[in-house]
Amino acid sequence: MDRRGYSLRIVRANEQADPSSIGVVLGKLCIRKEIPASDVATYFRVSRMTVYNWFSGASRPQKRLHDDIQQIIEKFSDA
């Protein structure tokens, strides 16, 4: 499966990560919809490394971002 912009390492880490983490859910969506991590990083004003850490489950987004992340998940899950 073509995952432009996402390394196989990130895709595998996301697949194996805890699906209860909102960052992992966001990662699954971004990988599936080919939304660049750089766009996510810009939107949330964080580094790309932070976004990759969310996607892989290595860290979790700050609580203050959860509502915005949930809105993005809902918006793009239907698209």
Does residue 2 lie in a domain region? no
* pLDDT tens digit sequence for 40-65: 999 999 999 999 999 999 999 999 99
Closest by CA position to 10, among listed 26, 67, 39: 26
Alpha-carbon distance of 54 to 57, in angstroms, equals 5
Does residue 27 lie in a domain region? yes
**Structural domain range at position 43:** 8-78
Q: What is the CB neighbour count within 10 angstroms for residue 67?
A: 10
Look at the chain and report how many structural domains it folds into.
1
Q: Is the pLDDT of residue 19 over 50?
A: yes
Sole residue written with tokens 């509502």? 67
- Give pLDDT, residue 2: 47
- Give pLDDT, residue 7: 93
